[in-house]
């Protein structure tokens, strides 16, 4: 059986080019690791209303300014309000060669619905 080159490329890319989608429970557990970096891509105004303790605020609209500061040797968790902007950020970073990315499903809304603490 012969697989068409484009189909093989699509399968290969699909396997390697997918971020790890994690829950807020996974994020909460990961925070015990001091090497974990949490990036909140919401606006500064949204971030000020409440965020995950230790998260840094690098807004999606400024990604071209900060993307090169994301470490490639540490686990990185990216979230926003729900998951839309963080998915865009993850795809952008993957296009720049990042692989150790975790997309937080549901974002800060899911975090707060679990009654996990936020910092202001």
Active site residues: 80
Residue 40 φ then ψ, to 5°: -105, 115
30 closest CA partner among 94, 64, 96, 75: 75
- Closest-CA residue to 83 (of 96, 102, 98): 102
Instruction: Tell me if 76 sits within 8 A of 40, measured CB to CB.
Output: no
* Integer CA distances (angstroms), 53 to 5, 12, 61, 96, 98, in order: 46, 37, 22, 27, 24
Q: Is 1 helix (H, G, I), strand (E, B) or coil?
A: coil
């Amino acid at each position: 059986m012969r697989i068409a080159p484009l189909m093989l490329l699509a399968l290969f890319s699909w396997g390697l080019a997918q971020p790890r989608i994690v829950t807020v429970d996974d994020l909460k557990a990961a925070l015990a690791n001091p090497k974990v970096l949490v990036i909140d891509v919401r606006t500064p105004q949204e971030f000020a209303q409440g965020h995950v303790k230790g998260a840094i605020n690098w807004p999606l609209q400024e990604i071209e300014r900060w993307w090169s500061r994301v470490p490639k040797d540490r686990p990185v968790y990216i979230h926003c309000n729900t998951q839309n902007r963080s998915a865009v950020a993850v795809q952008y970073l993957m296009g720049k060669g990042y692989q150790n990315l975790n997309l937080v499903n549901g974002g800060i809304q899911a975090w707060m619905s679990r009654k996990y603490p936020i910092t202001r």
